Amino acid sequence: MKLITKELEQINTTFEYGRSLGIVRAVAKNDEYDGRNLILDGKETVFLGNCSYMGLDQNQEIKDAAKNAIDKFGMYFSSSRTFVGLELFEQMEEKLEEMFEKPVNVTTSTTFAHISNLPILIGKNDAIILDNYVHSSMQTAVNMMRNNGEHVEILRHSRLDLLEDRIKILSAKYNNIWYMIDGIYSMMGDGAPMKELEFLMNKYEQFFVYADDAHGTSWTGKKGVGYVLNEIPFHEKLFIGMSMSKGFGTGGGLMVYPDKASKELVKNLGKTMIFSGPPHPAAAAAAIKSAEIHMRPEFADLQLDLKRKIEYFWKKANQLSLPLSGNYATPIFFIGAGNTENTAYTAKALLDSGFFVSPCTFPSVPKNKTGIRITLSRYITLKDIDNLLEMVNHIYLQLEKMGKMDREQVKRRFTEKSTKELILS
């Protein structure tokens, strides 16, 4: 094996330690899966890392549609859509366009969506600015472009004061400036400041926004169109990549465009659109049914059910003075633990108590902001939330007695504006 850097060796050691505790790369040995319960190490465990926020992955109508498509078309249609595709794929895009009221392309993953989109949409003399918390899928696509000489820089998280300064400077040298963001950031659960970004798009002719709204899809916005489009109307200089593998409940990635010309250009020339296979027939049929469900009036009631649980979690966590990363009304909650040792201890103690959460350390989060990430889905009950948070509080009281944690210090780390903070990109 080739030599690795000291930093990568340290990260790998931490990962292997977490694996030995059963808190990362865990294997669920369920005979059946219901969205809430995992069988880990022979014990039933409440799954608080599920990103199927709306619970649609277990919806019977969607499962029936997928099964029917397999019976009709088989497991896979093995041809690039550049040459030929099933009419089912066109029907899927038409239904999604009805839902989003904008042109849409579909691919097998959000990462593939970015890899197709960015080299086509972004010109050779354009500049790219990455928010330093932007999802790894976006960084992957941008890094592929960086190899061709595009100007790429990283900006401190959601610092729009710094962003505007960079727009002014870069506008003199580059044709356009693209700011790459998440709609909902996948680790801390905060949302991008879309209204302020809309102001900047209107103010600066050369400024464009490209958003990955994977974690904002379905649980918010009319018809589940997501966080970004719930915050602002669609803008002519806004491009969005989304995921159907989270709240949407079916799998795959989709891209939403301000105009049909952009859609067709990417569909004709995007690398993964040409050289990668199409969605599975089951996934395409499931997406059609999921979009239909999103457009029903009663879908808003499902969203409200989840939002009530989000509010309940937030109030309970604050009552217990747990160090949340912020007060964000999203299904992603991050509770700081202070350091990697505390994070591992907390995740393991929760697992032993019947709760699976996601332990997050560098490079997923900055080194000074390690902690546990909890995602709420409609499968989770209010009693689950009570039991979980009371257990976290109990664990933190133990750490405080041992002199290993100061909650107020941990909280301050999420409010201070660091000049050094970067995640691995």
Which pLDDT band, with edges at 50, 70 and 90, does 421 fall under?
A: very low
Looking at the fold, whether 67 and 42 belong to one and the same domain comes out as no
Run of H or E residues at 372: strand 371-375
Check whether residue 253 and residue 381 sit in a common domain.
Answer: no
Section 299-313 average pLDDT: 98
Please indicate, yes or no, whether residues 280 and 148 belong to a single structural domain of this protein.
Answer: yes
For the chain, give the percent of residues with pLDDT over 90. 84
- pLDDT above 50 (res 58): yes
Instruction: Answer yes or no: do 324 and 176 share one domain.
Output: no
Q: How much is the pLDDT for 417?
A: 58
Question: Which contiguous run of DSSP H or E holds residue 333?
Answer: strand 332-336
Residue type, 280: H
Would you give the DSSP letter of residue 191? Answer: B
Residue 152 lies in a domain: yes
For residues 54-69, average pLDDT: 98
Contact partners, residue 127, CB within 8 Å, separation at least 6: 150, 151, 152, 153, 170, 173, 174, 176, 177, 178
pLDDT at 322 over 70: yes
Please tell me whether residues 256 and 137 are part of one structural domain. yes
One domain, residues 192 and 245: yes
**pLDDT the model gives residue 3:** 65
Q: Residue 424: is its pLDDT beyond 90?
A: no
Residues 380, 289 share a domain: no
What is the mean predicted confidence (pLDDT) over 98-107? 97
- Shared domain check, 23 and 170: no
Residues 345 and 286 in one domain: no
Q: Among 279, 294, 309, identify where a domain stops.
A: 294
**Residue 131 and residue 73 share a domain:** yes
For residues 19 and 93, state if they share a domain.
no
**Cα distances (Å, whole numbers) of residue 47 to 52, 128, 247, 391, 420:** 11, 37, 16, 15, 34
397 in the same domain as 255: no
pLDDT band at 2 (very low <50, low <70, confident <90, very high): low
* Within a domain: 96: yes
- Among 258, 276, 294, give the residue marking a domain's end: 294
pLDDT-based confidence at 419, cuts 50/70/90?
very low
Q: Are strands 43-47 and 238-243 parallel, antiparallel or unpaired?
A: unpaired
| Amino acid identity at 218 | S
In this predicted structure, the answer to whether residue 55 has a pLDDT above a threshold of 70 is yes
In a domain, 421, yes or no: no
| Measured distance CA(59)–CA(309) in Å, rounded | 20
The domain that contains 166 carries what CATH number?
A: 3.40.640.10
- How many domains, the chain? 2
User: Would you say residue 419 lies in a domain?
Assistant: no
Domain that holds residue 318: 6-57+300-413
Residue 135 lies in a domain: yes
End-of-domain residue from the set 255, 270, 294: 294
